[in-house]
Each structure stands twice: as C-alpha cells, then as structure tokens.
C-alpha cells in the first residue's frame, strides 16, 4: 500500500528532505564553485595588475617627485636669473676712472656736451689748458717761443705779449701798455705749454663752470640750445643704457637734465654738473629748451683788409738793378692796374736787403694810374730766413726795415715772394705775417703773398693765416712741370690751375682775396733716346716762332686746354704744350667761375698782344686800339 504523500514516515521524510536539501546545497555549491572557477582568472589578473601598478607606482612616485623637484629647482634658478637680469644694479662707478683723472692736478673737461679725452691742469689754485687743447677748441692764434720765453697774440692793430712762467707781478703787454693779471698767464711743464683759463678768456669766446670731486670743467665754446627735462621720480644716471650699468649720479625728483639723444627706453643725458650718462626715458618729462650763451672775449680777433675796386691785373716785372726800367717798357694798353717789380732781395741770413727801387719808375707808374707793390724775394741768393723768423726782435727789426724802405720808395704795397721757407719754420712764418700785417695796416700799405699751388709739402705756408691777415694772396698757377723735373708736361694745364684755385680757397683764403698768376712762358721739352729729359724755357712769343721754324704742328688738347705739338728731330723727341690766347681764355674763365679777385702774370717781357687781349676781355675792357 503506497503511503500517503502528505503523511509518510517521518524518518524517510526527514531523509528525503535531508537528501534533497543536501543535493540542493551541493548543487548550489557546485554552481558557486563553477562560478568561482569561471571568475578566478580575471581576479588573478586584476590582482596581478594591481600589484604591478602598485609596484610601478612605487617606482614612479620617487621619480615624479624628483622631476617635480628638478623643475622647481630649474624654475627657481632661471627665475632668479630673470629677476637678477631685470634687477637694478646698485653699484656705483669709480668717478675718477669715469672722468679719467688719476692725479690731484688733473681736471676733466666736458666741452660742448662731450666728455673730452684731454685733461686740464690745476696749478696753484688756477686752471690751465695745454696749448694743443687751446688750438683744438679755442684759437690757433697764439704764438709761443719757449727759447725766448714769450707768448704772443697778434691782432690787426697790436702785438699782445706776455712772458712764460711768471712767479710774481703777473702781467701782459697790450702793445706798450702793461696790464696786470691774477695768476701766471702761461706756464711750461715737461715740455708742454699751458694757458691759464683767466688769460684765455681775454682772447676766446666761451663759458665755463667748475666743479669738484673730481675736479672738472663744463665748457661751451659756442651758443647752444639744449633740450631740457625734469626728473619725475628718484632715479640714477648710469654709465650706459641698462639697469646693470654702474651708477654715475643719483637724481632726485625735480632735478634737471639735458637730453642729448633718445633711444627706445633710455636716453643719453648730461647733468648740470657735467655727468654724461643714461637715464630711463620714463623717469623724466620734457620741460622745454635751455639756452647757453657764451661769454665774449675782451680782444676780438677782427681783420679789415685793403681792397681795390674791380679786378686786379697785376704784372710781375723782373728787375735786377736800379736802372733796369723806368716803367716805359710796361704796356700802356694792357689793362694793368698793379705792377710788382722785384726790387728787394734778401742777400744773407741776417736779412740784409738789396734795394733797387727806381724813383722815376714809381713816379711814372703812379702817373699812369698804376699801383706799385714792391716784391721782396729770397729766390736769387742762397739765404735762409729761419733765424729772422724765429726771433721776435729780429722779426720786428726786419719788418721795420720793410716799412721804412717801402715808404721811402713811395710804394703802395709789399709783395712777399719767399719761396724757401722750411717746414719747421711754419709757425714762425705765420707769426711774421701777423706782425707784418699790423705794421702794413697802420701804414696803409697793401700786403700780398705769393704761394705755390697747394701741396702737402707746402702746407706750412699757413694759407689760412694769409687769408686772415693779408690783403691779397697770389697763387702761382704755373710750373706744374718744371725744367729740371725730368718729366715732360704742361706748365699750367687747366686741371692744375683750377686745383690750385680751389685748394687755396679750401685752405682758408677768401676768393675775394685770391689772385691767380698765369705764365707768359712755356717749355720746349727734349727727350733723348736714353730717356733723359731736358727743357728750354721760352716766352710765349719765342715758343710760337720756334714751332713755326721747326714745322711743329699744334693741335688743341681738351684735357689740358692747350695747343699741343710734337716732332722728332735728330733722334730727339720735341714736345710743347703751348700757352696762347685760347689757353689763357680757358684759365680766365675758371678764375671767373670761382670769383677770384683778379689775375697776375709772370712776367712782363714775355707777353704778346694776343695774351693782353684775352686779359682785357676778362677785365671787361674794350679791345685795345692797337689790337
């Protein structure tokens, strides 16, 4: 009989229940076990990855921290560098080094807004400048003779004289008048000459302000207008433009500076006490202009010249003795208004003069309305003027003789033809001209000087001084090629003539004082087969005759503006660059173009009617009746 399913045996029920329960649990466990079995590889991988990550992280963190630290250190380093770069330096410059003064007697010079390399001298409570610096910045008109222990300053009317190294009773002489001074006007030391600033003020226009620590002078040699600025905040003037540059001077608000040059962020400035440096543009405001007016000297250097109306036509007349001419051989229709006879010859080193003035010659010239300028020359004798030129007393004696002889001869002018001045006598020659000009102007005598066309070897003839103190300056526009020079060529090509005029003007001779002398001669050049070159100097007329006689054909040469001819005869090459009316017209046109004062001719006796016709046209005169 089947048991009732609802009731049954309790043990069996329990057993069945336990069995079922066991199977359920077992099944559940199997399922869980299967689930765990399926999940285990992922969990392991995760745990492995987690371990690796933790291991890597453990290694990375120190590296990361190290990198961060390194970045911080680099940042700090470069940040400090950046800060340091833009940090304003607080270092002050050594002012003695800045101004270049290392001894107590040295004085820094700030001249016309420039810190000069030159230094002044502080001596016994007074300020001095060297003669070289005086020449460079103030005036070159002083003449110093250390051997004679004197210093001269010659104006148009007086020779101002003082002695060197005065120890007491300080003074100078204005002509014969003694004038007192507060200190030694001129001193010497170690072979150099120094002028006191107080003495210099008598002769040069300038203003000066003096400062200490270190000693310095702010000098202006000309009236100046400066851009003025006012400091708007405390700042520094630095040696160069930049925050790292050394400090020259502290500047307070409202201080004044003069702006010399502005750049992008910095400006070059000068302080009122002479520091020249740089300041930031943002640290100042422009505040207008400042006018600097220099003080005028007590002895202005002004020269007035004797000037003839119209163009000069000056004919040199070479005469060797008293009776050589009575003026009757001078052309009357040549337009000559000045004649220059060679009547005074220096015959020895002591200045002895051979005087060949002919009273009738002078009187006849004056009757013809012609002025007479006596020529003083050193070319005919072997003499040296150096001893005369280097001594004040000898110069004055020679000048007095010149004035006396000129006045006794009733001459109108002095013409100097001193062609042997050595280069070492250049300053003596210049002073001689100054002192002679004082005497000639007081006497109403015209002073003129003959010169070579300018070259480096003749610079010591001081043409600038001539242009200042002389009434007329003559350029000898000839001897471009000279007879003994060994090279055949023109006596006066157009380029040579114009260069002589232009260079003389450029050297300081006003065009209205410049007379250009032209040659009335030329040369016939002879070149032998061995290459040796000689020449015969002939008048223009004689040269023309020679060309005709020898059959030398002349053709115009545009380069020299002369007629040129050549011919070989007896194995000798003959050449000539001809002076004639046409070549002279070319020279005269150049003189007109440069507004020269006139023309001179070397020499009477070499002239031709054709040449005088060209000169008359230059002077604006009608052709002569005999032409």
- List pLDDT tens digits, range 373-383: 999 999 988 89
pLDDT, mean of residues 477-503:
97
Which pLDDT score is estimated for 380? 85
Which pLDDT score is estimated for 627? 46
Q: Which fold has domain 312-520+579-619?
A: TIM Barrel (3.20.20)
pTM of the full structure: 0.84
Query: Which one has a higher pLDDT value, 198 or 10?
Result: 198
Q: Tell me how far apart the alpha carbons of residues 478 and 495 are, in angstroms, rounded to a whole number.
A: 11
The CATH code for residues 91-302 is 2.30.30.40
**52: pLDDT strictly greater than 80:** no
Which pLDDT score is estimated for 188? 97
User: Helix, strand, or coil here: 459?
Assistant: helix
Nearest to 110 by CA among 245, 251, 243, 224: 224
pLDDT, mean of residues 1-14:
44
**Buried/exposed 418-446: b ≥16 CB within 10 Å, e otherwise:** beebeeebbbbbbbbbbbbbbbbbeeebb
User: Helix, strand, or coil here: 206?
Assistant: strand
Q: Tell me how far apart the alpha carbons of residues 504 and 249 are, in angstroms, rounded to a whole number.
A: 49
pLDDT, mean of residues 169-192:
97
**266: pLDDT strictly greater than 90:** yes
**502: pLDDT strictly greater than 90:** yes
Which pLDDT score is estimated for 92? 97
Report how far apart the first and last C-alpha atoms of the chain are (Å, whole number): 191
pLDDT, mean of residues 408-435:
97
Could you report the per-residue pLDDT of 185-209, keeping only the tens digit for each? 999 999 999 999 999 999 999 999 9
Could you report the per-residue pLDDT of 68-125, keeping only the tens digit for each? 777 877 767 666 665 556 689 999 999 999 999 999 999 999 999 999 999 999 999 9
Which pLDDT score is estimated for 21? 53
Could you report the per-residue pLDDT of 267-289, keeping only the tens digit for each? 999 999 999 999 999 999 999 99
Tell me, rounded to whole angstroms, the distance of Cα 179 from its chain centroid. 36
User: Helix, strand, or coil here: 316?
Assistant: strand
pLDDT, mean of residues 297-311:
95
Helix axes of 426-443 and 392-408: crossing angle, nearest 10 degrees: 40
Which pLDDT score is estimated for 82? 58
Which pLDDT score is estimated for 3? 42
**4: pLDDT strictly greater than 60:** no
Q: Please check whether residue 303 is in contact with residue 469, taking contact to mean a CB–CB distance below 8 angstroms.
A: yes
The mean pLDDT of the chain is 92
**9: pLDDT strictly greater than 80:** no
């Amino acid at each position: 009989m089947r048991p009732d399913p609802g009731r049954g045996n309790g043990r069996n029920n329990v057993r069945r229940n336990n069995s079922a329960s066991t199977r359920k649990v077992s099944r559940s466990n199997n399922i869980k076990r299967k689930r765990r079995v399926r999940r285990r590889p992922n969990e392991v991988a995760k745990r492995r990855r987690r371990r690796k990550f933790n291991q890597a992280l453990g290694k990375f963190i120190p590296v990361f921290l190290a990198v961060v630290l390194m970045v911080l250190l680099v940042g700090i380093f470069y940040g400090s560098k950046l800060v340091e770069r833009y940090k304003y330096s607080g270092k002050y410059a050594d002012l003695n080094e800045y101004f270049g003064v290392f001894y107590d007697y040295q004085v820094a010079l700030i001249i016309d807004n420039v810190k000069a390399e030159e230094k002044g001298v502080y001596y016994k409570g007074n300020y001095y400048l060297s003669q070289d610096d005086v020449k460079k910045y103030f005036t070159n008109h002083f003449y110093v003779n250390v051997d004679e222990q004197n210093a001269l300053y010659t104006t148009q009317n007086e020779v101002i004289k003082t002695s060197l190294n005065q120890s007491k009773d300080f003074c100078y002489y204005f002509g014969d008048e003694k004038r007192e001074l507060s200190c030694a006007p001129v001193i010497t030391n170690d072979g150099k000459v120094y002028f006191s600033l107080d003495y210099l003020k008598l002769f040069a226009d300038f203003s000066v302000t003096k400062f200490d620590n270190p000693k310095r002078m702010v000098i202006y040699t000309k009236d100046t207008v400066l851009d003025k600025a006012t400091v708007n905040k405390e700042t520094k003037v630095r040696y160069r433009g930049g925050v790292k540059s050394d400090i020259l001077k502290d500047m307070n608000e409202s201080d004044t500076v003069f702006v010399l040059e502005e750049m992008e962020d910095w400006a070059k400035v000068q302080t009122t006490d002479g520091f020249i440096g740089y300041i930031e543009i943002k640290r100042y405001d422009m505040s207008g202009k400042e006018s600097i007016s220099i003080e005028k000297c007590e002895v202005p250097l002004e020269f007035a010249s004797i000037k003839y109306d119209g163009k000069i036509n000056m004919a040199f007349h070479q005469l060797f003795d008293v009776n050589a001419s009575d003026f009757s051989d001078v052309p009357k229709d040549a337009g000559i208004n000045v004649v220059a006879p060679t009547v005074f010859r220096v015959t020895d080193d002591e200045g002895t003069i051979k005087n060949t003035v002919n009273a009738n010659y002078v009187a006849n010239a004056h009757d013809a309305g012609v002025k007479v300028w006596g020529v003083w020359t050193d070319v005919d004798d072997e003499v040296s003027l150096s001893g005369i030129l280097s001594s004040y007393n000898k110069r004055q004696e020679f000048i007095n003789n010149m004035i006396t002889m000129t006045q006794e001869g009733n001459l109108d002018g002095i013409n100097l033809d001193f062609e042997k001045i050595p280069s070492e006598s250049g300053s003596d020659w210049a002073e001689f001209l100054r002192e002679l000009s004082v005497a000639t102007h007081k006497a109403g005598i015209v002073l003129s000087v003959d010169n070579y066309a300018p070259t480096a070897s003749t610079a010591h003839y001081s043409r600038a001084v001539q242009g200042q103190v002389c009434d007329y300056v003559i350029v000898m526009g000839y001897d471009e090629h000279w007879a003994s020079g060994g090279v055949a060529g023109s006596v006066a090509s157009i380029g040579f003539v114009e260069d002589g005029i232009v260079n003389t003007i450029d050297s300081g001779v006003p065009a209205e004082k410049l007379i250009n002398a032209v040659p009335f001669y030329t040369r016939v050049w002879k070149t032998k087969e061995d290459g040796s070159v000689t020449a015969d100097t002939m008048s223009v007329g004689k040269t023309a005759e020679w060309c005709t006689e020898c059959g030398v054909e002349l053709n115009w040469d545009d380069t020299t503006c002369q007629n040129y001819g050549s011919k070989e005869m007896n194995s000798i090459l003959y050449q000539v660059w001809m002076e004639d009316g046409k070549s002279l017209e070319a020279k005269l046109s150049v003189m007109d173009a440069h507004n020269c004062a006139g023309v001179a001719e070397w020499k009477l006796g070499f002239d031709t009617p054709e040449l005088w016709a060209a000169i008359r046209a230059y002077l604006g005169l009608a052709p002569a009746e005999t032409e």
